[in-house]
Structure 1
Amino acid sequence: MHFDLPDLRVFIHVAESSSVTQGARRANLSIAATSARIKSLESQLGAKLLYRDSKGATLTPAGENLLKHARVIMRQVDYVKSEFAEYGSGLVGHIRIFANTTAVTEYLPEILAQFLSTRPAVTVDLQERLSREIVRGVLDGTADLGLIAGPIEAQGLEIIHASTDRLLLALPEGHELTKRSSVTLAETLDYPHIGFREGSTLFDLVTAQVENLGRTLSMRVQLSSYEAICRMIESGVGIGIIPESAAVRHRRTMRLVTVPLGESWAIRERSLLVRELDGMPGCVRDLMDTLRSN
């Protein structure tokens, strides 16, 4: 069985566009040439890859499977190009990272600034994603590197410890719980909470712990950033559970008091996810070393 790399790249364009026409435009080919490349792949594999109708093109089960492998193959081709480009022009490369909200807003900015300052030819595509999307993105080759917090099971991936964060209770000045040296989740449930939107990793974690207590969570306001959450807390609208990395930054500019949550689940391990560490280009491995040392 023989595959032409240009055919795989065209297939990826069509699959991601859900349209032969749009895929052809992205590949700078005619529609006829694009269709011919897809038919060539189908002939090689002996399987239909696309369902086509007036609305566009959708992947068959065989097409879904090929897309997963094609992305990995093309990423590996890009890695080889980057590795050999380094010999002639210094550190060169492009890194796509999927990470959770805390990592994107609180953990990565300073580390990436440090890393990129000595690597002017390296570029980074950093995308905020939910945990399940991070795992899926690294598995199917959409992302080179995933950064996730909390317990994780991801078959087929290497999981590498990066750092440790912990959850704190954030309070407005003068709140009665500010006098405590630590609190439990149960002790916070009599107060209205400010928190993240449903579906976020932190929301799911806190909700699961509340359900384990047989209680309900009074979520007064749900937001999509730690800055907005902290401003609501500062204004006295409610209290909230946030990572220490976020609390440290926002305490500098807001009148917030934080109290540790004295429970084991509030300690969160931050992990790096990759498919095969040894197969990663040098710039990705260097970034992972930088993340593990901070």
Structure 2
Amino acid sequence: MHLDLTDLRLFIHIAEAPSLTQGAKRAFISPAAASVRIKALEAQLNCHLLYRGSKGVELTDAGQRLLKHARLIMRQIGYLKTEFAEYGTDSSGHIRIFANTTAVTEFLPEVLAGFLAKNPGVTVDLQERLSRDIVRGVQEGATDIGIIAGPVAAKDLQVLHFSTDRLVLVVPKGHVLDTGEPLKLRDALAFHHVGLQEGSTLQEFMREQAEKLGEHLTWRIQVTSFESICRMVEAGVGIGVIPESAATRHSRTMALSIVQLDELWAVRERSILVRQLEALPGCIRALISILRPEAIDIHSMPSSGG
């Protein structure tokens, strides 16, 4: 079997369009030529990859499997090109990161600012994703690394723990829940909550915890950051669940009280997810070494290209 990289790249474009015409346009070939290439690829693999319809195309089960492998192959080709673009250096390349809400809003901006300032040849694509999408993205090669909080059920990935945080409840000073004693989530469900916007990982996580109790959270308002949550809480709009690191920082300048949650799930282990650490380009390993210095010595481990 001989798979052409041009065909794999075309197939990815079509799958992501999802239209043969649009995919062909992205690949800079005619729709007719694209159709011939896809039919030849299907013949080589002896299976149908696409359902063709008037509104576009849809992947078959075989097409879904090929898309996963094609993305991994093209990602590895990208690594190879990056490594040899400036042989022997870790100061150039492109890094794609899928991360949860806390990582995107709390600590990654500062970490990436320092990293990018020291490595002007590196670019980063940072996307906030739900936990399940982060895991799947690393598995399928849609992202180079994932940053997640909580347990990870993925035996085919390397999980590098790098810090621990807790979820806590923030309430206004003097609130009825401001007793100095830990409480259960159930005790807080009777009050209006201030939370993050729909689609955030923390928002989805808290909704799941309430549903496990047979209850639901009543959102008074949903905002875009932990700082905004704290300002709303300080103003008496409601109460909110946020990471303790953010709560501690904002409580220094706002009239807030931090209430510990007596829940096992409140302890959040932060982890970096990768498929194979040793196969990553030097620039990605360099970033991981900043997030988790004990996880990797980029100078002593074998390089994937230089």
TM-score normalised by length of structure 1: 0.90
One-letter amino acid of the counterpart of residue 59, structure 1: L
Q: Match for residue 176 of structure 2?
A: 176
2:129–2:200 CA contact under 8 A, matched in 1: no
Match of 2:195 in 1: 195
1:112 aligned residue = 112
More displaced stretch, 86-95 vs 275-284:
86-95
SS at match of 1:216: coil
What corresponds to 1:223 in structure 2?
Answer: 222
Quote the sequence identity (%): 58
Paired position in structure 1 for 2:144: 144
Question: Is the counterpart of residue 233 in structure 1 residue 268 in structure 2?
Answer: no
* Residues 194 and 233, structure 1, Cα contact 8 Å, conserved in 2: yes
Query: Which amino acid letter does the alignment assign opposite residue 218 of structure 2?
Result: M
Instruction: Provide Cα deviations, 1:78-113, integer angstroms capped at 9, x if missing partner.
Output: 001111113277621111111111110112111111
Letter in 2 for 1:142: A
Q: 1:53 to 1:215 in 2, by over 3 A?
A: closer
**Structure 1 residues 40 and 242: alpha-carbon distance in aligned structure 2, compared to 1, 3 A threshold:** same
Q: In structure 2, how many angstroms separate the alpha carbons of the residues matched to 1:6 and 1:210?
A: 48
Contact 2:167 2:267 in 1 (8 A): yes
1:236-251 superposed matches below 5 A: 236-251=236-251
Distance 2:102 2:151 in 1: 15
Greater shift, 73-82 or 221-230, is seen at 221-230
Give how far 1:210 is off.
Answer: 4.3
CA contact (8 A) 1:193 1:217 kept: no
Q: Which amino acid aligns with 2:219?
A: R
Aligned residues: 293
- Secondary structure (helix, strand or coil) at the match of 1:178 reads coil
Q: Cα 1:60–1:265, aligned 2, differ >3 Å: closer, same or farther? A: closer
Which SS does the other structure have where 2:178 is aligned?
helix
Counterpart in the other structure of 1:103: 103
Instruction: Identify unmatched segments of 5+ residues in structure 2.
Output: 295-306
CA contact (8 A) 2:50 2:60 kept: yes
| Range 259-268 or range 17-26, more displaced | 259-268
Unaligned runs of 5+ in 1: none
Say if 2:73 is the partner of 1:87: no
RMSD: 2.3
Distance 1:218 1:26 in 2: 44
Does the residue aligned with 2:48 lie in a helix, a strand or coil?
coil
Within 1, Cα distance between the matches of 2:182 and 2:79?
A: 48
Q: Which residue of 2 aligns with 1:37?
A: 37
C-alpha displacement at 1:217, in angstroms? 4.4
Alpha-carbon separation, structure 2, partners of 1:170 and 1:270 = 21
Residue matched to 1:265? 265
Instruction: Please tell me the residue identity of whatever aligns with 2:78.
Output: D
Deviation at 1:261, TM superposition (A): 2.5
8 Å CA contact retained: 1:107, 1:245: no
CA–CA separation in structure 1 for the residues paired with 2:223 and 2:134: 18
Distance 1:289 1:6 in 2: 34
Moved more, 241-250 or 252-261: 252-261
Q: Is the 8 A contact 1:195 1:219 kept in 2?
A: no
Distance between the aligned counterparts of 1:190 and 1:48, measured in 2? 54
C-alpha distance in structure 2 between counterparts of 1:90 and 1:98, whole Å: 21
Bigger Cα displacement from structure 2, 76-85 vs 192-201? 192-201
Aligned to 2:301: none
Measured in 2, the distance between the counterparts of 1:200 and 1:89 equals 36
The alpha-carbon deviation at position 140 of structure 1 amounts to 0.9
Aligned to 2:162: 162
Per-residue CA deviation, residues 176-226 of structure 1 (Å, 9 max, x unaligned), is 3334154443443443322345664434444454456x5634523252532
Counterpart AA for 1:193: H
Whether the aligned pair in 1 keeps the contact of 2:90 and 2:286 (CA below 8 Å) is: no
**C-alpha displacement of 1:130:** 0.6
